[in-house]
Amino acid sequence: MAKKTYKGLQENIRDLKTPKIDVWKNKYQDRDYLVDLKTSEFTCICPKTGLPDFATININYRPDKTCVELKSFKYYLVFYRDVGIFHEHLVNKILDDVVKACQPRWIKVEVVMGTRGGIQTTVTAEYSQS
């Protein structure tokens, strides 16, 4: 079996076509509240070795007009199973895609990668409406 290559993907990571994240209308737009999403079932591929990377993803956001629909978000995350992506690119791509989908008032995306080579990697990115 030939090893799959991920060469060039990192240079064009912002153009990676990902599944659509659906949303639903927030009936409490007048209230500032926090939604926490967490999954420990995330996997992607190390673009250097081709080996699987495992992660816990934590997303905290303050919705505005819409909220993230969870079934579509699960399919969105599963998409990455066969994608070779650096941790730093992953957290920023997820942030961009969720912001594009639901335009939250504020959001923080944290990706805690499984320990590899004795090193624990956590990457966090935030967005706020201004």
Q: Which of 30, 32, 44, 46 is catalytic?
A: 46
- The answer to whether residue 53 is catalytic is yes
Which of 40, 75, 80, 83 is closest to 59 using CA atoms?
Answer: 40
- The answer to whether residue 67 is catalytic is no
| The overall pTM is greater than 0.75 | yes
Whether 3 shows a pLDDT value over 70: the answer reads no
Q: Residue 12: pLDDT band by 50, 70, 90 thresholds?
A: confident
Protein fold of 35-128: GTP Cyclohydrolase I, domain 2 (3.30.1130)
Give 31's DSSP letter: S
Strand order in the sheet with 35-45: 35-45, 52-62, 106-116, 119-128
Query: Residue 97: what are its φ and ψ, rounded to 5°?
Result: -70, -40
Alpha-carbon dihedral of residues 47, 120, 71, 99, nearest 10 degrees?
Answer: -80
SS (H, E, C) 44-111: EECCCCCCEEEEEEEEEEECCCEEECHHHHHHHHHHHHHCECCHHHHHHHHHHHHHHHHCCCEEEEEE
Residues whose CB is less than 8 angstroms from the CB of residue 117 and which lie 6 or more positions away in sequence, other chains included: none
Tens of pLDDT, residue by residue over 61-83, are 999 999 999 999 999 999 999 99
The span from the CA of 79 to the CA of 73, in Å, is: 10
The span from the CA of 44 to the CA of 52, in Å, is: 6
Tens of pLDDT, residue by residue over 78-121, are 999 999 999 999 999 999 999 999 999 999 999 999 998 889 99
Q: Which of 32, 36, 53, 97 is catalytic?
A: 53
